[in-house]
Amino acid sequence: MPKPASLPLTGQTDSPPRHVAIIMDGNGRWAKARHLPRIAGHKQGVEAVRRVSRAARQMGIEVLTLYAFSSENWRRPEGEVRDLMGLLRRFLKNEVDELVSEGVRLRVIGDYRALSDDLVAMIDEAVERTRDSDGPTLVIALNYGSQAEILKATRSLAEKVAAGAIAPEAIDEKRFEAELATHDLPPLDLMIRTSGEQRLSNFLLWQAAYAELVFVDTLWPDFNAATLGEALDIYARRHRRFGGL
């Protein structure tokens, strides 16, 4: 069977990964270790987002996707969710001008329209302001769950089959990927998770099928250009076979 067209050639490369995703974990533990409220960890986590997104641009990464708020995070205490939404407002208010000036395109994946009306309006405005940017892309996953994304894609294809728009046998990997929120992004090359946990937590499950996985002990608020560089060094030493030899 021929290799899917979306997969790059096998082997090591001196080039940075085109698309890197990060599960930003450890804000609460960072705060607890310092006897601080959890919101302090989240605030430092936002600072890490600024550092790492700038570093990623300098390192030549085309797309950086950050897991900011999962669909399961609604289970957290109401006060913590409110604090997280407040930090999101502050990030959008303070960072979009820099994204525009740096030529960064902002994308948001997930059911973010379930957030409050004012946040949805801020997100829409930020995305629109950066829509025509021709530089790297920063993707923020908000109210995102990969299983829900896959189910939505499946239902969409089922509806098209039922309507006679496509035949069942016409559905292949490429056709399925066209239904995903990431359909116009490069394939995911590298998935990083901070804080020592080693699971994907319902993040980019389809997209991570052939991604390299790197788990680091660093808590997200302490993650910086150096730790990102270390993860890229690990990636560069991997031999990507995609099922081949």
CB 179 within 8 A of CB 153: yes
**pLDDT of 176-223, one tens digit each?**
999 999 999 999 999 999 999 999 999 999 999 999 999 999 999 999
Specify the 3-state DSSP secondary structure of 49.
Answer: helix
pLDDT at site 39: 96
Q: Helices marked H in 59-171 — which ranges?
A: 78-101, 117-129, 146-162
- Asked if pLDDT for residue 9 goes beyond 80, the answer is no
From the list 73, 83, 111, 222, the catalytic residue is 73
CB 138 within 8 A of CB 66: yes
Domain 19-237 falls under CATH 3.40.1180.10:
yes
Cβ neighbours for 24, distance < 8 A, ≥ 6 positions apart: 45, 48, 49, 66, 67, 68, 194, 220, 223
Active site residue 143: no
For the annotated binding site for Mg(2+), the residues are: 25, 212
For the annotated binding site for substrate, the residues are: 26-30, 38, 42, 70-72, 74, 76, 193, 199-201
- Asked if pLDDT for residue 4 goes beyond 50, the answer is no
Listed by start position, the domains of the chain span 19-237
**pLDDT of 118-160, one tens digit each?**
999 999 999 999 999 999 999 999 999 999 999 999 999 999 9
**Cα gap 18→169, rounded to integer Å:** 31
Active site residue 132: no
Q: Which amino acid is at 18?
A: R
| Residue bearing tokens 């399925």 | 176
| Residue bearing tokens 């997104």 | 53
pLDDT at site 11: 47
Q: Are strands 105-109 and 63-70 parallel, antiparallel or unpaired?
A: unpaired
Average pLDDT over residues 28-51: 97
pLDDT at site 15: 78
| Residue bearing tokens 């995609």 | 242
For the annotated binding site, the residues are: 25-30, 38, 42, 70-72, 74, 76, 193, 199-201, 212
